[in-house]
Amino acid sequence: MELERGKRESERRAEQAGREIQERIERVERRCKKAEEVRRSEWEKLEGRVMTAQERQERRSDEFLRLITAVGQEHLRILQALGNDMRQGFAEIRADGEESRAQLRANTEAVLRMLDRLPPD
């Protein structure tokens, strides 16, 4: 029963993390698209004309490279955050394990002391 509950909780957290990651990536994509529109309009104002087909293709290539770079950087930040969370989780598990071992050791010593006090048969 407890295993089942833990599994459901783990799946819920994984789905939530997936949604958060997707939202972060979508925000990066929207920022890149908006920035590209601003760059294009500034260029057209500066040049005083509409882009040629070749210039539009170069802009698309540049836009794609900027998007890939931005998304890649966001992926790295996400992976670093996940790594930090995992390290923190492992540290907590290790601390809980050490605490449990210390408690077990204390209980064992108490039982052994009680056994030493029993009268011989």
Q: For position 2, what pLDDT does the model report?
A: 74
pLDDT at residue 51, as a whole number: 75
User: Which residues neighbour 87 within 8 Å (Cβ) at sequence distance 6 or greater?
Assistant: none
pLDDT at residue 121 in the model:
63
pLDDT at residue 34, as a whole number: 92
Low-confidence ranges of the chain (pLDDT < 70): 120-121
C-alpha closest to that of 76 among 25, 33, 39, 110:
25
CB atoms within 10 A of CB 35: 14
Contact 24, 78 (CB under 8 A): yes
* CA 31/CA 37 separation, integer angstroms: 10
